[in-house]
Amino acid sequence: MGLSVVDGAVEPIARGSGLHPDLVRMALCLIGSYPLCAVLKRLPDSRRQLKDVYIIGIALFYLVGVFSLWAGLRTLLISIGVTYATTKYLRGNPFMPWIVFLFVMGHLFTSHIEAQWYQVDYEASLSDITGAQMVLCMKLTAFAWNVHDGTLADNLLSDFQKERRVKEQPKLLDFLAYCLFFPSLLTGPSYDYREFEQWIDLSMFDVTTAEERRKRKNRAIPRSGRVASRKLVEGLLWIGLWTQSANYIYTEYAQSSKFMSHLFVVRVVYLYLLGFTYRLKYYGAWTISEGACILSGLGFNGRDKNGKYRWDRVKNVSPWRIETAQNTYVYLGAWNMNTSAWLKNYVYLRVTPRGRKPGFRSTLSTFVTSALWHGTRPGYYLTFVTGAFYQSLGKLFRRNLRPIFMRPDGTPGPYKPYYDAVCLVVTQLSFGYICHPFVLLDLAASLDMWKTVYFFVHVVIAVVLFLFHGPFKKSVTGYLKSLQPKPLKPSDQVKSDTQRLKEMRKEIEQLSAPAALGVPNPDFEHFDDDLQEAISEFEQLKEDLSVEIQNLKKYQQQQRTKKND
């Protein structure tokens, strides 16, 4: 229970809407962030400490006054305090970011266990502190790496790392405001400390002109009310559609015996529609949260090529791209974007030794991190593992099937639209199947749901992988290659090379995409090399341990000899 005045507002809305009170509280915080951000934006540009105190005060009101999460507040402050102290006193220590990573991830994992196994009334769809802690985990682990990068020479850093590095330890008040930034406190999005610092010291807005500032009473932050309002309206529409769709499409029906009386195709389509209703809630929450960040100014991202302001810095989801995606790359790349970026930049690339390409160790580490970050429920792992294998099919189809529908010069052939339409339907129906364990969480319930459609996606994955990696690999790929257009004559080749080069660049970009949905894109063609790399590393570790053991035995023998003498 929160403050009495908050409870008095929540209960009538919950009864009238049929929503759980905690969901109403979440909605009040998300929508309430808009007027609060309007005030934040208008605080004097020079009063940095005032902004910090305002941000922290609103965050405390959300956690304690609205949700009464006293223990949750303590949990967040523990992670914040340990991270701040570690980055301050172990600055320059190469193990510092790993210490922070292990502590923060371990702290989050224990919270998951406590919430999911020791709370009798736990309900994953409702609010507890783990949601805010997951967002905070991304911020803190990224901050530790940014501080570490601040101690390294430029030639050891990528352009991304140079932009995000933190060269000086921030003041505690600034750090608390970064960690507890109220528009993104409960649902995200996450962002790096340098972005927050550039926002609060106004250097983010250096691209604006003096004339533009005069029109805004010399305020540095450009007007963003119209853009933010559109995000709010869009988010409310998603939420409204979600609440109404529950009256017509719901999980209980898919779990009933009557559901099996329908045709297989009908059941598959129903699971797709059910998956769509799951996504609506996330579309709404993330879009509203993004709009609040835009209103505060944090969503500012410079200018586009036409000179207009961009407000997509903290964009976390693109519903249109997801619902019209024709392949896994587009689908997963438009979902939970900030988490995917965090996994790529602060896990996948960080476990890779400098000067080497990411391999088996990077892939495995990213997968484990994403799984532990989400929680302990079996449903997460079913979705992630299935998603990882399904992603691999996209690469196979793009290399072997797609060229059949292209002209020799690399432009789309007459049947390419039909190929795209089939890809759209297959992608959407497949993810309508894959996503259910992510929501159901329970192992038995997830398998029962898949059983209603005969595990058809898993069957397709198994068949495709067998065809392209089994004993008939050469026959299958050879036959598909024979269906592809014949090469151009040498005289026409030069003309097509430019178009093909563009296609290759796009293909390289897609096939080397970062981890999405928490799962790196697996490359089965190089699996043997990755496995051999892992075995070599393990053998080297055994050899090192053997040497250490021998040295220890020699030392003990020397000590015994001295003692006997």
For the annotated catalytic residues, the residue numbers are 149, 290, 374
Query: What gap in Å lies between CA 122 and CA 134, rounded to an integer?
Result: 17
Number of alpha carbons in the 13 Å side-chain half-sphere of residue 489:
2
Structure tokens at 283: 């579309």
For residue 519, the cross-strand partners are 516
CB atoms within 10 A of CB 462: 12
For every residue of 509-526, which 3-state class applies, written as one string? HHHCCCCECCECCCCHHH
H helix runs in 246-263, sequence order: 251-254
- Please give the span between the terminal C-alpha atoms of the chain, in angstroms, as a whole number: 73
Cis, bond preceding 97 (omega within 30 deg of 0): no
Region of 21 on the Ramachandran plot (φ > 0 left; ψ -120 to 50 alpha; else beta) = alpha
CA-angle at 404, arms to 403 and 410, nearest 5°: 45
Length of the chain: 565
Number of alpha carbons in the 13 Å side-chain half-sphere of residue 376:
14
Q: Please, are residues 70 and 64 in contact by the beta-carbon 8 Å criterion? A: yes
Burial 297-334, CB ≥16 within 10 A → b, else e = bbbbbeeeeeeebebebbbbbbbeebeebbbbbbbbbb
Query: What gap in Å lies between CA 488 and CA 446, rounded to an integer?
Result: 50
DSSP for 478-521 reads HHHHHHSPPPPPHHHHHHHHHHHHHHHHHHHHHHTPPPBTTB--
Query: What gap in Å lies between CA 145 and CA 343, rounded to an integer?
Result: 13
Burial 351-370, CB ≥16 within 10 A → b, else e = beeeeeebbbbbbebbbebb
